[in-house]
Amino acid sequence: MAEILCPYCFKKFKTAEVMLQCQNEATQLKQNSENEFTKVPVCPTEDDTKFSDHWGTHVKTKHIFAPNFGFREKMGLKSIQGKPCDKCGTLSQRFVCPHCHNWLPTEMIEKGSQIISVIGGPQSGKTNYIVALVHQLLKYRAKLGLTVTLQQVGRNKAEHTDEIYKAMKKIIFDDHMAVPKTQVRAGQQPIPWIIRLESTTTKKAVYLVFYDTAGERFDDASSVEELKYFRESEACIVVFDTLAIPRIKRILASKDIDVFGEAFDYKYTWTTLKNFEEANKWLKLTKKPFAFVFTKFDVVIANQESLNCDVSDFTDDDGRFTNSSFIKTGKFSLKQVDLANKAIADYLHADDVWDEDSLASDIWDKWKENGHFFGVSALGSMTDSTLSIQTEKDEVVPIRVMDPLIWILHKLGGFGIPLEGGK
C-alpha cells in the first residue's frame, strides 16, 4: 500500500490511515435559553489540538474522523472514496493528514506522494526562482510532456498555491519587478507551495514542495526543519546565492557594482546538509539527485570580465546568456547541463575565480553523478535599486530555470523526459 508523505508536517502515513474532515456547512435554527431562534451549524467546529499545534495558534476546525474504509480500499485493491461524517452523515471528501490535520490533495491520497524539495538560505533568490520556474513549466509543459497543477488546498483561498503564484507572477512578468523579500511572520509556520507534476505519457507524478520561509527561520533552532526535507524528499533543489560567494562579493563591491540585496552566508545551508549527511550515512542521501543551483547568474554574465569568469559555456557568440536549448528543440540536452556543471565546478575550484575549492570537492566527492551544479537567472537581467528588472526587451525572460528540475526528473526516471540525441 502506498505511503503518503505529508507536505505540511513531513511525517508519513499509510493510505488507509488518512482522516476525513466534515464538509457540512449547513446551519439550522435552534432555540436558545431566552427562547430566541439562532442559526447554528448542523455539524459544529471542534477544538483541534493537532491542527493547532502545527500552526502554533489555537483554532477550532470542522469535525475530523477516521473513515470506515472497506476491505478492498484498505488493501489498496480499490481507490479510496469519501465517506459520510460519523456525526452528521454528510458525505465528506476532504482528506486530511492524520498527524497534523492539514487538508491534502485527493490525488496525493489516491496515488501516493513523492516530494522534490526546494531549499536555500535567506535572500538566496528562492522566491523569485520558484515563481520563474513555475512560469516556465506552465509555458513549456507540452514540450516536457507534463501536466503542471498548482494545488488548491490550504486553510483559506489566500494560501492556495495558485493564488500565491498569480500575485507574484504579476509582479515579475507584468510589472517587471523582483518579488520583494518574504515578510517575516513571527512564530508562524510557513505556508508550503505544492505543485503536482505528472507525465502525460507514463502518468508518473511527483510533488514539488517549497516553503517560502523568511530567512530568519534558518537559525540553529530551525535547522531541524531543513533536515526533514533532506531526509524525506526524493530529490532536492538546493539554492545558493551566487552573489554571496565572498570573492564575488568583494570584487563587485570594489568595482562599485551594486547588486541591490543583502548577502547572507550562503554556506549555512550547505553546512547543515553536509553535517547531516555525514552523521546519517544509512539514509544514503548522496544516492538521491541533488541539484545545486547558483541563482542570479545574470550578474556573473554581465560582469564576466571583472569577475575573471570564462562564461563561454553559458553564452552565444555575442556574449549573451543563452537559455536551455530544450526550449527550441523540445529535447533536453544533457550535454548542455554537463558543460554548465563542469564550468561552475571549475569556477569554484579556481582561487582566482570563485575560490570555493572545498565546496566543489565535497559535493563532487559525496554526490558524484547524483549531484550537479546549475547557473540560473530567475529575472533574466539585473535589477536597479527599486528592484525594477533591467530587461532589454519588453518582457522578462528567465534563463535556464527549468534545467535543475528536468535533470532531476530525468535522474529519477519514469517521467519520459525527451532527450537530445536519444529516445
- Which residues, 219 to 238, sit near Mg ion by CB under 5 A? none
Q: Which is nearer to Zn ion, 232 or 403 (CB)?
A: 232
Task: Give the one residue of 21, 92, 102, 127 binding ligand GDP; rule: CB under 6 A.
Answer: 127
By the rule CB under 5 A, 88 interacts with Zn ion:
yes
Shortest Å, Cβ 37 to ligand GDP: 51
Of 182, 223, 306, 308, which lies in the binding site for Mg ion, with binding defined by CB under 5 A? 182
Binding to Zn ion by residue 149, rule CB under 5 A?
no
- Whether 387 and 379 have beta carbons less than 8 Å apart is answered as no
Instruction: Quote the least distance from Cβ 260 to ligand GDP, whole Å.
Output: 5
Q: Footprint of Mg ion on residues 99-118 (CB under 5 A)?
A: none
Q: Which C-beta is closer to ligand GDP: that of 109 or that of 389?
A: 389
Q: Which cell goes with 105?
A: 490533495
The least distance separating ligand GDP from the CB of residue 250, rounded to whole angstroms, comes to 18
- Give 382's contacts (C-beta < 8 A, 6+ positions apart): 259, 298, 299, 302, 389, 390
Written in H, E and C, the secondary structure of 88-132 is CCCEECEEECCCCCCECCHHHHHHCCCEEEEEECCCCCHHHHHHH
Closer CB to Zn ion, 61 or 324, in the complex: 61
- The site partner of 88 among Mg ion, ligand GDP, Zn ion, none (C-beta below 5 to 8 Å per kind) is Zn ion
Q: Is residue 122 a contact residue for ligand GDP (CB under 6 A)?
A: yes
**Residue appearing with cell numbers 505528472:** 198
In angstroms, what is the minimal distance from the CB of 255 to ligand GDP? 16
- Select 164 or 311, whichever has its Cβ closest to Mg ion: 164
Q: Return the residue of 21, 113, 127, 323 that touches Mg ion, per CB under 5 A.
A: 127
> With binding defined as CB under 6 A, does residue 410 bind ligand GDP?
no
Find residue 92's DSSP bridge partners: 83
Decide: is 345 part of the binding site for ligand GDP (CB under 6 A).
no
Decide whether 182 or 286 has the Cβ nearer to Mg ion. Answer: 182
Binding ligand GDP (rule: CB under 6 A), the pick from 15, 295, 303, 324 is: 295
Count of residues that interact with ligand GDP, criterion CB under 6 A:
26
In angstroms, the Cα distances linking 334 to 37, 150, 345 are 70, 27, 16
296 binds ligand GDP (CB under 6 A): yes
β-bridge partners, 209: 117, 194
Residue type at 353 in one-letter notation: V
How many angstroms separate the CA atoms of 334 and 320, rounded? 21
Applying CB under 5 A, which part among 15-23, 218-226, 257-265, 322-330 lies near Zn ion? Answer: 15-23
Q: Which does 99 bind (CB under 5 to 8 A by kind): ligand GDP, Mg ion, Zn ion, none?
A: Zn ion
Least Å distance, CB 195 to ligand GDP, is: 16
Residues 251-290 touching ligand GDP, rule: CB under 6 A, are 260-261
Pick the closer one to Mg ion by CB: 154 or 289.
154
Q: Could you say whether residue 147 binds Mg ion (CB under 5 A)?
A: no
Residues 297-356 that bind Mg ion (CB under 5 A): none
- Is 214 or 283 the residue whose CB approaches ligand GDP more closely? 214
C-alpha 404/C-alpha 412 separation (Å) is 12
Footprint on residues 163-202 left by ligand GDP (CB under 6 A): 178-182
Nearest approach, Cβ of 178 to ligand GDP (angstroms)?
4
383 contact, one of ligand GDP, Mg ion, Zn ion, none, CB 5-8 Å limit per kind = ligand GDP
Which residues of the chain form contacts with ligand GDP (CB under 6 A)?
120, 122-128, 178-182, 215, 260-261, 295-296, 298-299, 377-379, 382-383, 387
Binding site for Mg ion (CB under 5 A): 127, 182, 212
What are the residues binding Zn ion (CB under 5 A)?
6, 8-9, 22, 24, 43, 63, 85, 87-88, 97, 99-100
